[in-house]
């Protein structure tokens, strides 16, 4: 069926997850809407769940979706201003609002971090500094001198990551010759050749293709000011980097890059022209209906630049739609500041909210849940995308993360949407069954050879892309992860497929991936608490006994890292330093993940669960919400962290609900919504 009436994508002037609004489907919640608490329930737990339920219902959009802000770091805001400067469309109002946000994120030492409470980050500090210079902040202002002094002390622009130096090269602040070469001829490599574009994860692929055009054309716009104060050595602002030994991967790829710089001078003109034209077509073909690319801000920015360099003027429909889509990543705050989201997460937020409400006892035919199901059904993706390069015979089905992204559905969202739909009593069950069947079939078809699941592609595991000199920031491949695999296994168990050979292979992979400590690595959430909170419920749902040694090891590890206040927390630094595993200030979402694992392991009466539940109850605010300034989501482990503003609401409610009513799993073959009504 066509994707008609797909919601959202709208520009929002305030956090869409915050506060009640007119005509919201569930803006009031009568006691009759919720299941009665079991006898002997701990005082305050039911009331906390009811407050959280009411608040979450008030946040639902009239179309049926939920979406919280997706907070990352100031490089999004800085690069938005640099894009506008490059295109000649930067205006005073936008600049002033962006600068207000960027200044508000600066710390006392003059630096910027990439997550709350994190260490200073050089590239983020450089980009934020340049953005404030664009906004008119004087280089001798106290906050600017603190920043520039720190930048120089830590190597200056020369020590920044490649992406930062590309942005600076666009204005002549860095020499293109001192950047890795990205030949557009890359788009001609067939999928079986190493380092073809489909060896990269979809997010990297969408960025690299337009950057091959930028790299080939090497544009330079007049710089509005100099940046001498950001060079550690102003006499040699673009120092050559030392070559690693030829016997190392780094050394081999550095020499390959040198060869590509030579090739650039002799590349056949007709071949290069054809490659850039092919790259341009590739970009245009993947533009979504709302004008964006993959629903992600960074690829959209680079795609707009590349197409403009290829001759698309700003009035061209493709460019107009692309620029309009970028406006929808802006969140205007009450103080006049403007924050840019790297992405928007309505499908993810909606399925998690529906699961939380259902598990907390909201009746399965509640209008808010039915409305959410209608919206999710309308978001189903039934056209082929890039994933078919590795799975050409697989029929489409599933869901993406964003409002509009038909090219890149993801395995994680698809699994969670199926779990959400199964909890809802919809008036058109045949429609639900059809969508679920397609989603389950697509997820099964996306299983990798090792029995596990990645996020967007199957068998996207080549080690070569991460070795390229260009790829010095974040993950550029999409190997299977424990958290995604766990969500698929949990979904398959819910569908009565726990005994399916493909499910058993996934379970075997999860058991083999357990860390010696007892936890599991979390790829898309921070970190071992997230991985463990995902895997344990999945294993138990699929028939692994709570007494299994792997489950017992996980329980012991979670108990060992519980904080004195009864909560759990884990800092992003655990991705870089394993000694941080399970350590950090308590957060509502991470406390909930740990509780979900312990509850599924049969620890409801245990002291750790009692203390964790008490922590959630005691830290809840009167309006039913929790505070969570810490970043508990992950884009790229360590390199790109996310604060999903709805996590602090949906996961604690899920944990409270499962504490009150038990695990949501029905016997194999039973419809969960029906079973839950008994």
Catalytic residues: 412
Rounded to the nearest angstrom, the gap between the alpha carbon of residue 163 and the centroid of all alpha carbons in its chain is: 19
Q: What is the Cα–Cα distance from 163 to 169, expressed in whole angstroms?
A: 10
Q: What is the DSSP letter of 673?
A: H
For residue 542, the tally of other CB atoms under 10 A from its CB is 23
- Cα–Cα dist 183/216, whole Å: 6
Distance from the first to the final alpha carbon of the chain: 34
Buried b (16+ CB within 10 A) or exposed e, 492-519: bbbbebbeeebbbbbbebbeebbbebbb
CA distance 344 to 29: 28
Number of CB atoms found within 10 A of residue 266's CB: 6
CA distance 307 to 293: 13
- DSSP letters, 269-336, are HHHHHHHHHHHHHHHHHTB-TTS-BTTBHHHHHHHHHHHHHTT--TTSHHHHHHHHHHHTTEEE-TTS
Residue 327 near residue 290, CB atoms below 8 Å = no
For residue 51, what are its two tokens?
Answer: 């407050």
Residue 642 contacts residue 634 (beta carbons within 8 Å): yes
Nearest to 80 by CA among 68, 70, 89: 89
- How far apart are the C-alpha atoms of 504 and 78, rounded to whole Å? 47
State the CB neighbour count (10 A cutoff) for residue 633.
Answer: 24
Residue 243's alpha-carbon distances to 5, 155, 236, 253, in angstroms, are: 54, 18, 18, 10
* 343 vs 612: CA distance, rounded Å: 31
Instruction: Let me know: does 273 contact 279? Beta carbons within 8 Å.
Output: no
Do 595 and 659 meet the contact criterion of CB atoms below 8 Å apart? yes
3-class SS shares of the chain: helix, strand, coil, % to 5: 50, 5, 45
Distance between CA 228 and CA 166 in Å, rounded? 17
- Pairing outcome for strands 640-644 and 70-71: antiparallel
- CB atoms under 10 Å from CB of 49, counted, come to 32
Q: Measured between alpha carbons, how far is 605 from 603 in angstroms, rounded to an integer?
A: 6
**Which helix (H) or strand (E) segment is 609 a member of?**
helix 607-619
Please enumerate in sequence order all residues whose Cβ is within 8 A of that of 473, keeping only pairs 6 or more positions apart, or say none.
123, 161, 162, 163, 636, 639, 640
Strands 338-340 and 330-332: antiparallel
Contact 176, 169 (CB under 8 A): yes
């Amino acid at each position: 069926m066509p994707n008609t009436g797909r919601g959202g994508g709208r520009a929002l002037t305030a956090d869409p997850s915050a506060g009640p609004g007119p005509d919201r489907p569930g803006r009031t919640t009568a006691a009759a809407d919720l299941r009665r608490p079991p006898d002997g329930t701990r005082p305050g737990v039911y009331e906390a769940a009811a407050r959280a339920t009411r608040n979450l219902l008030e946040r639902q959009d009239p179309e049926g979706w939920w979406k919280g802000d997706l907070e990352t770091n100031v490089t999004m805001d800085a690069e938005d201003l640099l894009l506008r400067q490059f295109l000649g469309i930067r205006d005073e109002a936008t600049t002033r609002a962006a600068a207000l946000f960027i200044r508000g994120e600066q710390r006392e030492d003059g630096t910027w971090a990439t997550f709350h409470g994190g260490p200073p980050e050089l590239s983020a500090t450089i980009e934020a500094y340049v953005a404030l210079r664009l906004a008119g902040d004087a280089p001798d202002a106290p906050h600017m001198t603190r920043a520039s002094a720190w930048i120089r002390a830590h190597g200056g622009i020369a020590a920044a990551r490649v992406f930062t130096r590309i942005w600076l090269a666009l204005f002549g602040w860095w020499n293109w010759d001192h950047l890795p070469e990205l030949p557009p001829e890359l788009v001609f490599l067939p999928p079986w050749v190493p380092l073809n574009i489909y060896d990269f994860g979809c997010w990297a692929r969408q960025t690299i293709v337009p950057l091959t055009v930028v790299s080939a054309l090497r544009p330079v716009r007049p710089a509005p000011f100099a940046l001498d104060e950001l060079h550690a050595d102003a006499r040699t602002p673009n120092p050559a980097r030392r070559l690693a030994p030829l016997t190392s991967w780094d050394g081999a790829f550095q020499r390959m890059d040198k060869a590509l710089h030579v090739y650039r001078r002799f590349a056949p003109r007709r071949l290069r022209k054809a490659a850039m034209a092919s790259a341009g077509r590739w970009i245009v073909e993947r533009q979504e209906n709302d004008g964006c690319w993959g629903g992600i801000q960074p690829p959209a920015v680079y795609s707009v630049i590349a197409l403009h360099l290829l001759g698309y003027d700003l009035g061209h429909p493709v460019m107009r739609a692309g620029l309009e889509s970028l406006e929808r990543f802006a969140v205007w705050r009450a103080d006049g500041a403007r924050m840019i989201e790297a992405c928007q997460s309505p499908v993810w937020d909606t399925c998690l909210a529906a699961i939380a409400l259902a598990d907390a006892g909201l009746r399965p035919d509640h209008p808010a849940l039915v409305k959410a199901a209608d919206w999710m059904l309308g978001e189903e993706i039934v056209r082929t995308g890039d994933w078919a390069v590795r799975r050409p015979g697989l029929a489409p089905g599933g869901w993406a993360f964003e409002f509009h992204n038909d090219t890149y559905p993801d395995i994680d969202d698809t699994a969670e949407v199926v779990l959400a739909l199964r909890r809802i009593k919809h008036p058109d069950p045949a429609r639900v069954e059809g969508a679920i069947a397609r989603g389950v079939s697509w997820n099964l078809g996306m299983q990798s050879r090792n029995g596990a699941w990645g996020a967007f592609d199957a068998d996207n595991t080549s080690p070569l892309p991460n070795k390229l000199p260009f790829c010095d920031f974040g993950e550029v491949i999409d190997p299977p992860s424990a958290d995604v695999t766990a969500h698929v296994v949990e979904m398959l168990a819910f569908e009565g497929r726990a005994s399916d050979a493909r499910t058993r292979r996934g379970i075997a992979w999860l058991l083999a991936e357990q860390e010696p400590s007892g936890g599991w690595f979390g790829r898309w959430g921070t970190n071992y608490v997230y991985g463990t909170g995902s895997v344990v419920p999945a294993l138990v749902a699929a028939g692994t006994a709570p007494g299994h040694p792997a489950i017992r090891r996980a329980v012991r590890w979670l108990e060992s890292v519980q904080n004195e206040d009864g909560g759990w927390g884990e800092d992003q630094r655990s991705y870089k330093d394993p000694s941080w595993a399970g350590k950090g200030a308590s957060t509502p979402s991470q406390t909930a993940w740990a509780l979900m694992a312990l509850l599924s392991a049969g620890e409801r009466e245990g002291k750790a669960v009692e203390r964790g539940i008490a922590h959630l109850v005691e830290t809840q605010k009167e309006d039913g919400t929790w505070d969570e300034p810490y970043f508990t989501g992950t884009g790229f482990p360590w390199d790109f962290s996310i604060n999903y503003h709805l996590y602090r609401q949906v996961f604690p409610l899920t944990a409270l609900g499962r504490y009150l009513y038990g695990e949501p799993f029905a016997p194999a073959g039973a419809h969960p919504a029906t079973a839950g009504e008994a």
